[in-house]
């Protein structure tokens, strides 16, 4: 079993009305690239044209992005509300 298969076991209750992570408007590309490398759920992305994107819906709530870049990119990082967020199905 590889990591992707383990991640697929998780269940997510996405809070559509309130993102628990919000990014700043102006993002230092070098800082963003750090997030692309460290996020275990691969939620920070850069496409072939250099456009960046982020989707909080599959967040594992590990906090790594918050530690890596502090407030240089992330302007809000909170735990999802009660019953929201990831529910681990393995381990």
Asked if 27 and 35 touch (Cβ cutoff 8 Å), the reply is no
Contact string 12-31 vs ligand SF4 (x = CB under 6 A): ---------x----------
**Closer CB to ligand SF4, residue 24 or residue 60?**
60
Handedness of CA 62, 65, 68, 71 (dihedral sign): negative
Pick from 23, 32, 65, 85: which binds ligand SF4 (CB under 6 A)?
65
Which residue(s) pair with 23 in the sheet? 74
Binding status of residue 64 toward ligand SF4 by CB under 6 A: yes
């Amino acid at each position: 079993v590889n990591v992707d298969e383990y991640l697929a076991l998780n269940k997510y209750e996405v809070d559509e009305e309130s993102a628990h992570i919000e990014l700043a408007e102006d993002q230092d590309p070098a800082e963003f690239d750090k997030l692309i490398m460290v996020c275990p759920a691969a939620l920070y992305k850069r496409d072939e044209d250099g456009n960046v994107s982020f989707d909080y819906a599959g967040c594992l709530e590990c906090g790594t992005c918050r530690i890596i870049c502090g407030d240089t990119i992330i302007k809000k990082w909170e735990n999802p509300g009660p019953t929201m967020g990831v529910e681990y199905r393995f381990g």
